[in-house]
Structure 1
Amino acid sequence: MNNQLLEKNLNYTEVKKTTISLLTMIIIAILTVIAWWLIPIKDPYVEEVLSFSGNIDRGSAIFQVNCAACHGTNGNGNVGPSLKDVWKHKSQVQIINQVVSGKTPPMPKFQPSAEDMADLLTYLRQLS
């Protein structure tokens, strides 16, 4: 009888250790995913864009040539959505990624130089 109790306790201890190990691994995996999601990945292109102050006049010209057909000459929207107050719901990095990714059809992939992108951001900032 004592051997059965001892064996039961040993089995319980093993199950407890296994459960704790499994929970620890799950917690570490979850924390890794959260950290990966929260820590921004440094994109050299984005970093370069953000290093420029941007020129509103050049940004306006870039917008008129490349964006106005879909977003309207004043950014009011046409085929593409209005870009008025785009800063209220998108960060600079999100806007850069939206422009260069081509992942939101029908918007084409657009690869301006870092300085041109900075100029475009400066222009977009003043649309309200």
Structure 2
Amino acid sequence: MDNQLAQSQVWLNRLIIIALTIIFIGGFSILGIYWRKTSDPYSSAVLSLSGDVQKGLAIFQINCAGCHSLQANRNVGPRLENISKRKSSRDLITQVTSGRTPPMPKFQPSQQEMADLLSYLSQL
């Protein structure tokens, strides 16, 4: 009986160690993603600037309206009305500059152009 109790205790200890390891690794993974997002120098620079809505509209018309239409309601790309309520500014910057969602192309605006575009998108 004592042998079974000892084995049960060993297994319980192993399970606790495994669970703590998973929590520890998961926590650091989430923290790493957060640090990477907040330490992106391009995004940080963009977010420190004031954008101009009219310049943002011009940038949108030239680079985005072909897929999202001038009313930003939907063409090839998704509807952008209220986009700033659905996505954070950092997520919008990543979306625009990465082109990770085909067929959206990579777009590399200057920091000021991106700030202007965010200003325009925030008022849709």
Taking structure 2 as the reference length, the TM-score comes to: 0.81
Distance 2:14 2:61 in 1: 63
Structure 1 residues 68 and 27: CA distance shift in structure 2, 3 A: closer
Structure 1 residues 84 and 10: CA distance shift in structure 2, 3 A: closer
Which of 28, 31, 41 aligns to 2:27? It is 31
Confirm whether residue 91 of structure 1 aligns to residue 88 of structure 2: yes
Once the two structures are superposed, the pairs formed by residues 108-123 of structure 1 within 5 Å of their partners are 108-123=105-120
For residue 45 of structure 1, report the CA deviation from its aligned partner: 0.4
Distance 2:3 2:61 in 1: 80
Confirm whether residue 71 of structure 1 aligns to residue 68 of structure 2: yes
Match of 2:103 in 1: 106
Deviates more, 1:113-122 or 1:69-78: 69-78
Structure 1 residues 19 and 75: CA distance shift in structure 2, 3 A: closer
Q: Tell me the alpha carbon deviations over residues 66-121 of structure 1, each in whole angstroms, 9 at most, x when there is no partner.
A: 11111111222212122111122111111111111111111110000010000011
Number of paired residues? 123
**Which of the two has higher C-alpha Rg?**
1
Structure 1 residues 13 and 100: CA distance shift in structure 2, 3 A: same
In the alignment, structure 2 segments of 5+ residues that lack a partner are none
Distance 2:117 2:76 in 1: 19
Corresponding letter in the other structure for 2:19: L
What percent identity do the matched residue pairs reach? 45
Structure 1 residues 88 and 15: CA distance shift in structure 2, 3 A: closer
For residue 20 of structure 1, report the CA deviation from its aligned partner: 3.7
Once the two structures are superposed, the pairs formed by residues 40-51 of structure 1 within 5 Å of their partners are 40-51=37-48
Distance 1:57 1:66 in 2: 14
Confirm whether residue 125 of structure 1 aligns to residue 92 of structure 2: no
Structure 1 residues 16 and 124: CA distance shift in structure 2, 3 A: closer
Corresponding letter in the other structure for 1:102: G
